[in-house]
Structure 1
């Protein structure tokens, strides 16, 4: 039990408002009316200010209908308000990273973003931010609101930052030095969050968002080029439950979405601005999922696309190798004792800078530097690991494996 009166309640309410994110009565009244009515016009703001002033002076009491809104805005319990701060109980409606992640109300989202204590920029006691919880909860409207308003981005504008988490970040301003407010750095270092967002965009059939998220790409693609690719050796593609969920969502989506992930795309290497063409690095795993789920039509359709991609890469590779061999022959045709240089020598020279990385499916080739119009390329090819009882699907699987194994045999022959 507690005893109090309007004067004590009013004084306590005034202190709560003063120490809150609203700072003054007018801002508090605007937040009150916005939460209650969805808007705050000047006349209502003035009336509300007058009523708050009377409550603070003890001339009026707090109404029952005020309590839920006061409690929500000020982050205190009903008991705290009515006891003038003498009876404290846990606040079940206090906004947290967890609760806001489940909210469907844009007004609540905006209020949480604008809080002075910047809760949205920091992880809670479970080391999770509002973004983490929203991705887990699948609250796509909230996440899309944040991205469309420019509060967060999973892919930045500066390609120089793509090597690490695609330059993800936030525009929500940090507090003064001394506070952590680590959301920006967390987003930059956790590309896994982007995989979650991709899965949600696929679930909601938001193809435009897939493009914004660079959904077919991984940061690794911006760290390699036809000359520098040694980091690919023994390197596995990123793997996590979020990646697996993304792959499963792709395989279960409409053909329009699946097609997006089987289209080739270009990236530009930072070192020398060489443009490289790739296909989705997880395309083979998507095919595995389609085949395993017995999606016969889709399996055949996208197996054919994968076969054509691999054959296209093979033709490109052979064309450059042939040009390299011709350049080598021309160079040594005027060399002394040129009869020492035979076809086997020219073949070895032409294939010298061919590399294949079976751990991730990337291949790289660069013509010898003495060749005319020296050039090269780096790309990736597709393989599958499952089989099918459907004869047509299995025929295409065998055909795809044959194209893939060609790259392996060529590399083994070169290394022998």
Structure 2
């Protein structure tokens, strides 16, 4: 198989592999030097390697032949994959495994592996890695997208009751066992396998694929993944007494950085407010709904400011709009509660709460089903553009007004 050597593509491919395999590029450099030299590298040696790696990742410097063996070993890819930027590979044997199939871009090979009688696709290999782990590591978005689009795996069951650790993620691939009932009838009984367990318990897999989908400008996939949401919104946030979601624990900086570098179309999606429903019903039978924005929109705005993103002005204006709408609704609900005699005097203050974790604000009328719970937005960065700074100031003012709401502002 022939292919063109493209240093820029090779650099981007290596960058992605390092990002997924190591905590940082500097850690990779240290391990590289340890592997090459057999001892602990000096700070100067690590810095020199980091400088060279930076040039390789940008495509301004070609990867050297002497690097290939160690890069291949540390990143778990073949020479062919590195030099073709992941577009081709030469499996080391003919046996289908999670490792080899996750490198393949051949649809017929994927299907053959899925349909293999003993369903090895459901099991982790000797290194504890599933086919999804390897597909993510190799950046094989074609395979991941195929599995989702053909409903072999899903990250959203579309059943709110499933939304706890994940959005009810699962797989239709089952190792079938037969169970005999008393009347002599055999029924098929699906088995519990590691792939299913991993999908059902690790939301991190969804976040990895969100990063890919943002890179590939794939809005349809982002919608399937509920990319703006976290599962906790559905089993915590709808209680206005507020057992608040732990947004900080779910924060994935790498995922948000991929989003920050995405197209305007993707950024428009991530900066739009969205509604979630809960189990409380109004008299007309409709479910109560709450409006939220992307839980990490404040961090996203910081990154957009740092990148001087062309979408920054629009993103700030949308964030200001959400904060202002929240402010108006909060004032109306508090006034109605006071007028109805539910909150005497300044008692309403005890029903308004703000949580730094996720910038959550909520209020409830203790004698009604009305209330509000949402997250609001702020930013910690400044811009060199004075007009952008005016928007930043307006955004942070609206944030602080809600966070430190006073009686004078309600009257």
TM-score (norm 2): 0.68
1:315 matches 2:332? no
1:237 matches 2:251? no
Aligned equivalents of 1:220, 1:325: Cα separation in 2: 31
Aligned equivalents of 2:325, 2:169: Cα separation in 1: 34
Aligned equivalents of 2:335, 2:208: Cα separation in 1: 44
Distance 1:196 1:208, change over 3 A: same
Aligned equivalents of 1:324, 1:185: Cα separation in 2: 46
Question: Is the 8 Å Cα contact of residues 162 and 222 (structure 1) preserved in structure 2?
Answer: yes
Question: Is the 8 Å Cα contact of residues 305 and 312 (structure 2) preserved in structure 1?
Answer: yes
Q: Aligned pairs, how many?
A: 303
CA offsets, 1:160-179, max 9 Å, x none? 10122100000001243897
Helix, strand or coil for the counterpart of 2:330? helix
**Runs of 4+ in structure 1 displaced over 6 angstroms?**
411-414
Aligned equivalents of 1:305, 1:219: Cα separation in 2: 24
CA offsets, 1:178-233, max 9 Å, x none? 97622112101011111111111111111111111111111011012454454328
CA drift at 1:247 = 1.1
CA drift at 1:128 = 1.3
1:260 matches 2:230? no
CA drift at 1:289 = 0.7
Aligned equivalents of 1:171, 1:142: Cα separation in 2: 16
1:212 aligned to which of 208, 224, 227? 224
Aligned equivalents of 1:172, 1:179: Cα separation in 2: 10
TM-score (norm 1): 0.68
After superposition, where does 1:118-157 map in structure 2 within 5 Å?
A: 118-157=119-158
Unaligned runs of 5+ in 1: 1-89, 332-344
After superposition, where does 1:169-208 map in structure 2 within 5 Å?
A: 169-176=170-177, 181-208=193-220
Distance 1:239 1:218, change over 3 A: closer
Helix, strand or coil for the counterpart of 1:356? strand
Question: Is the 8 Å Cα contact of residues 155 and 167 (structure 1) preserved in structure 2?
Answer: yes
Aligned equivalents of 2:265, 2:214: Cα separation in 1: 11
Question: Is the 8 Å Cα contact of residues 203 and 253 (structure 1) preserved in structure 2?
Answer: yes
CA drift at 1:385 = 1.9
Distance 1:386 1:318, change over 3 A: same
Aligned equivalents of 1:392, 1:190: Cα separation in 2: 42
Question: Is the 8 Å Cα contact of residues 226 and 376 (structure 1) preserved in structure 2?
Answer: no
CA drift at 1:117 = 2.3
Question: Is the 8 Å Cα contact of residues 363 and 371 (structure 2) preserved in structure 1?
Answer: yes
Question: Is the 8 Å Cα contact of residues 276 and 290 (structure 2) preserved in structure 1?
Answer: yes
Aligned equivalents of 1:271, 1:189: Cα separation in 2: 27
Distance 1:412 1:323, change over 3 A: closer
